[in-house]
Structure 1
Amino acid sequence: MVETATTFGEYDALSFDCYGTLIDWEAGIAAVIGPWARRFDAALTDERLLVAYAAEEARVAREQPALPYPDVLAEAFRAVGERLGHPVGDEDAERLGASVPDWPAFGDSHDALVALGRRFRLIILSNVDRASFEGSRERLGVEFDHVITAQDVGSYKPAQRNFDVLTDYARGEGLRLLHVAQSLFHDHVPARKAGLPGVWINRRHDRPGWGATPDPGQPVTPDWEFPSLAAFAAAAT
């Protein structure tokens, strides 16, 4: 089936994951942990580091759901160091924790969001704190109609509570909502459980493995899949 604007005509709002979908968090994380790791082992690749990091961030977020996101980043980095046998000092850990505003936007994010914003209300559902997200919002150069962060909810995706808050908001506003995200683990599995249709922005379509996003651990098939946000925007507007 060829997706067209008519395909998405029944929806009037889009909820987005931010990191991995709009912001290139893999590049941002690797920019900090890569140079640190190669002080000890020049053969360590960014991909290997991201896979190790993915598991640790998911664990820290699950075990400490009220921990601010900069501290989640720092704790996950320390755990990666323990895995590799090289302790992470406070300066390096805090550098990663403070780095979110420096993470780059994907090249298509701004223009695609502008185009989508002409037709849909734009909502953020993100594993982040408010202060860090503000730096990312400035990079994206787009105003969102509503923002829900992990700090607001008190838990991190894939916790179902985050999607309950999102769907409660959508119902209260009378919105017909479509969830747009890269991560099957953080977003599409719990979104499906919440009854939300989903668009998979498969940013890693040309690379094997999961990178900074854990394996979803169960089968999930989003309703639509696109290799980029630009491709989705072209189909939906």
Structure 2
Amino acid sequence: MQPKVLTFDVYGTLIDWETGLNDALQQVFRAHGVERTESEALQLFAHHEAQVGAGDYLPYRDVLAETLVRIGRDLNFKPVDAELRAFVESVRDWPAFEDSHDALLRLQKHFKLAVITNCDDEHFAMSNRQLRVEFDYIVTAELARSYKPSLNNFRLALGSIGVSRNKVLHVAESLFHDHVPAKKLGLATVWINRRHNKVGQGATPSAVAAPDAEYPSMSAFADAILGEGG
């Protein structure tokens, strides 16, 4: 295919949210005398965040706070208000993957770039200060009033972009949040498998999907679609 528009997931694909999430969770755990590995902490987050996001729409601040409350319930502690605020605000510190900025700038010379992201406008603005890229289209959960894997987010994005689906390529890490719904809508997808050298599912629930291509990083994807060095 020859896409005109590349749509991107942000957290897990462009932003290293697993590092940011684990750092924030471990800080809370230490305050309550809880010991969990990174894999265990992220698995708890994946389970509860997906459940909270699947209910009635809540701002992402509330999704994160409720997720931490439920994690605490599982581990027999109750986070205090200051811990909830710090966890929500940790989004601003979640780092970009080292290759995200340069890869996006290379791709921007040849394609329109869009994001379909499971966060509010304020959180994406925080993260885009890490990415330092001007996207052509931005569809947040706040705009869609729903969270991926809802098809609504993708339908809203496709309507905003206004090109045929065979000219759109969705690029994402999460099979659960992105590849399953994108495939239901007939989109071609590329899996940025950031966890290719790690065990476990990380911060997303397990899912089965069939992406059209797989790369271990954004730089490898950019090399492939542009021709190495393009």
- 1:197 alignment counterpart: 188
Match of 2:28 among 22, 36, 39: 36
- 1:5 alignment counterpart: none
What is the DSSP-based 3-state SS (H/G/I as helix, E as strand, rest coil) of the residue aligned with 1:235? helix
Per-residue deviation at 1:125? 0.2
For 1:109 and 1:122, locate their aligned partners in 2 and report how far apart those are by CA, in whole Å: 13
For 1:229 and 1:173, locate their aligned partners in 2 and report how far apart those are by CA, in whole Å: 24
Unaligned runs of 5+ in 1: 1-7
Per-residue deviation at 1:214? 0.7
What is the DSSP-based 3-state SS (H/G/I as helix, E as strand, rest coil) of the residue aligned with 2:36? coil
- 1:233 alignment counterpart: 222
The alignment's TM-score, normalised by the length of structure 2, stands at: 0.94
For 1:132 and 1:163, locate their aligned partners in 2 and report how far apart those are by CA, in whole Å: 19
Match of 1:118 among 109, 117, 121: 109
For 2:92 and 2:169, locate their aligned partners in 1 and report how far apart those are by CA, in whole Å: 26
The letter of the residue matching 2:17 is W
The letter of the residue matching 1:232 is F
Report the RMSD for the aligned CA atoms in angstroms: 1.3
Instruction: Judge conservation of contact 1:122–1:146 (CA < 8 Å) in 2.
Output: yes
For 1:43 and 1:73, locate their aligned partners in 2 and report how far apart those are by CA, in whole Å: 20
5 Å matches for 1:6-85?
Answer: 10-41=2-33, 43-65=35-57, 67-85=58-76
The answer to which of 175-184 and 120-129 deviates more is: 175-184
Per-residue deviation at 1:98? 1.6
- 2:82 alignment counterpart: 91
C-alpha deviations, 1:34-86, integer Å up to 9, x for none? 12113344641121011001110011111132x11111111101100000111
The alignment status of 1:223 with 2:212, answered yes or no, reads yes
C-alpha deviations, 1:162-201, integer Å up to 9, x for none? 111122223x245710000000000000000011100000
5 Å matches for 1:149-168?
Answer: 149-168=140-159
Match of 2:118 among 109, 120, 127: 127
- 2:139 alignment counterpart: 148
The letter of the residue matching 1:143 is E
Instruction: Judge conservation of contact 1:101–1:133 (CA < 8 Å) in 2.
Output: no
Per-residue deviation at 1:11? 0.7
For 1:12 and 1:124, locate their aligned partners in 2 and report how far apart those are by CA, in whole Å: 14
Per-residue deviation at 1:91? 1.1
Instruction: Judge conservation of contact 2:34–2:75 (CA < 8 Å) in 1.
Output: no
The alignment's TM-score, normalised by the length of structure 1, stands at: 0.91
For 1:39 and 1:196, locate their aligned partners in 2 and report how far apart those are by CA, in whole Å: 45
**Aligned residues with identical type, % of pairs:** 45
For 1:148 and 1:59, locate their aligned partners in 2 and report how far apart those are by CA, in whole Å: 21
Instruction: Judge conservation of contact 1:160–1:190 (CA < 8 Å) in 2.
Output: yes
Instruction: Judge conservation of contact 1:188–1:222 (CA < 8 Å) in 2.
Output: yes
For 2:156 and 2:45, locate their aligned partners in 1 and report how far apart those are by CA, in whole Å: 27
Per-residue deviation at 1:100? 1.3
The letter of the residue matching 2:59 is P
For 1:128 and 1:15, locate their aligned partners in 2 and report how far apart those are by CA, in whole Å: 15
What is the DSSP-based 3-state SS (H/G/I as helix, E as strand, rest coil) of the residue aligned with 2:31? coil
For 1:64 and 1:96, locate their aligned partners in 2 and report how far apart those are by CA, in whole Å: 22
